[in-house]
Amino acid sequence: MKNIPLLLMGCGGVGRQLLQHIVSCRSLHAQQGVHLRVVGVCDSKALVFASDVITRELNDQTLSEVCRFKSNGSSLSALGDLGECIVNGNTESKRKVMDIAALLGKATGLAFVDCSASSETIRMLNQVVDMGCCVVLANKKPLTSTMEDYDKLVSYPRRIRHESTVGAGLPVIASLNRLLSSGDPVHRIIGSLSGTLGYVMSEVEDGKPFSEVVKVAKNLGFTEPDPRDDLSGMDVARKALILARLLGRRINLDSIKIESLYPDEMGPDAMSVEEFLGSGIVSLDNDVQERVKKASLKGNVLRYVCVIEGSRCEVGIQELPKDSPLGRLRGSDNVLEIYSRCYKKQPLVIQGAGAGNDTTAAGVLADILDIQDLFP
């Protein structure tokens, strides 16, 4: 049985789902000769870890209790006596995490898994890669930081996996890596990489007011608590930057042209969420509907997409043919069209659920298993 020590940073929706997947897949992984040994789980306030990280692990009962606590909105610092070790405090937790990474990195190897949404893990990740640890990411921020941080993180390419940073569990990163490593240059990528904005744009196509569609999306749980986090396009821009850097573009986030679906005067600094949804967003309906009509007269539809081609990298609304893969997109699926030498006229199309804690966590789990050959 191959044992893979694992330390999880971030125990929100994706992190909790990952732990649940690990517990529920025990028998499957045993058949495959693999055991994922969770030695620690860390949130922003505390770290829960095994008393001896070399030989022991957090048992499945403890992992289930951690998930229960976190699903109630509690911090790990509020956990009672689980028979395990707890370090409270952000600074103290980080210090202990680094101690564990240094110890296991040299002894047995460690899968350092970042399912947080924080930029605070960047400095830690830059250090653990030099300790012999493998890095698995669902967090986009480390890959969209400075080029210096990015170069450090990918300096050991065999020891990093980040499939879930773009398209949740869809095989986007793996497909691009296979094309590039086979010498098939990718010259154009266009894709709808936000389930939220994919849903919004396909719904307004049917004549529904933009404001009403956004409110319905929020009620369905498709958007962040503040829908402007989705409508700003920043999440799509981060995904576009990850793909562009994968293709060798040495650019930063501020190099990307980003179209926000609301004006600055309706931003979080100027309006509350309630004001935006109550009176602000309604004033955008006519402009969106006019753009929909203009596109329809040409036989096109509007989609919020990222485009990477040559030196061009931008995200925003584009008019696209109704009968194209992106034009046929409905609901919250992600669609990505990849054009290369081999896929010149008919692109390689990747489509499927591109959001959700379940699919994202499944992608992270698959990444962890993908690096098992690096462990003794």
Q: CATH for 2-168+358-374, among 3.30.70.1450, 3.40.710.10, 3.30.565.10, 3.40.50.720?
A: 3.40.50.720
pLDDT of the residue at 101: 98
| Residue 83 labelled as part of a binding site | no
The residue from 94, 239, 257, 322 that is catalytic is 239
Domain map (residue ranges) of the chain: 2-168+358-374, 182-354
Tens digit of pLDDT at every position of the chain (376 positions): 999 999 999 999 999 999 999 999 999 999 999 999 999 999 999 999 999 999 999 999 999 999 999 999 888 988 876 667 989 999 999 999 999 999 999 999 999 999 999 999 999 999 999 999 999 999 999 999 999 999 999 999 999 999 999 999 899 999 999 999 999 999 999 999 999 999 999 999 999 999 999 999 999 888 888 999 999 999 999 999 999 999 999 999 999 999 999 999 999 999 999 999 999 999 999 999 999 999 999 999 999 999 999 999 999 999 999 999 999 999 889 999 999 999 999 999 999 998 889 999 999 999 999 999 999 8
| Residue 13 labelled as part of a binding site | yes
CA distances from 326 to 99, 173, 321, 331 (A): 47, 19, 8, 11
Is 239 tagged catalytic? yes
| Residue 169 labelled as part of a binding site | no
Question: Do 196 and 178 contact (CB within 8 A), yes or no?
Answer: no
Judge whether 2-168+358-374 and 182-354 match in fold: no
Whole-structure pTM value? 0.95
pLDDT of the residue at 82: 67
Among 261, 96, 240, 118, residue whose Cα is nearest residue 172: 240
What per-residue string of b and e applies to 38-68 under the rule 16 or more CB within 10 Å gives b?
A: bbbbbbbebbbbbeebeeebbeeebbebbbe
3-state secondary structure of 146: coil
Q: CATH for 182-354, among 3.30.360.10, 3.30.450.20, 3.40.50.300, 3.40.50.620?
A: 3.30.360.10
| Residue 216 labelled as part of a binding site | no
3-state secondary structure of 328: coil
